[in-house]
Structure 1
């Protein structure tokens, strides 16, 4: 079962929107899917870094 999704409203810099739209188009994804994937990967990386640093 797919995770539930919620709608939010955010304000982004125009240049960031242009970059995100380009990335989404290149990957044949919606802007929303692209942003969600980028955030997921970033949070996963932060968690990995936190766990790696904690193990030192």
Structure 2
């Protein structure tokens, strides 16, 4: 069974969000998927 997901709210600087969105798009992922990968150490 997949782990349950939890909704959280965080505040990130506008320029960082833009950069993360661009990187997620390049990797063909959603922003949340990309952030999860970064937190888990799958991305530099």
TM normalised by structure 2 equals 0.84
CA RMSD in angstroms, aligned pairs only = 1.3
Q: Which has the higher helix share?
A: 1
- Count of residues in correspondence between the two structures: 42
Residue 4 of structure 1 deviates from its aligned partner by: 1.2
TM normalised by structure 1 equals 0.68
Question: Could you tell me which residue of structure 2 aligns to residue 41 of structure 1?
Answer: 41
Counterparts of 2:9 and 2:30 in 1: how far apart (Å)? 16
Counterparts of 1:28 and 1:2 in 2: how far apart (Å)? 22
Displaced runs of 4 or more, over 4 A: none
Stretches of structure 1 that go unaligned for 5 or more consecutive residues are 43-56
Q: Which has the larger radius of gyration?
A: 1
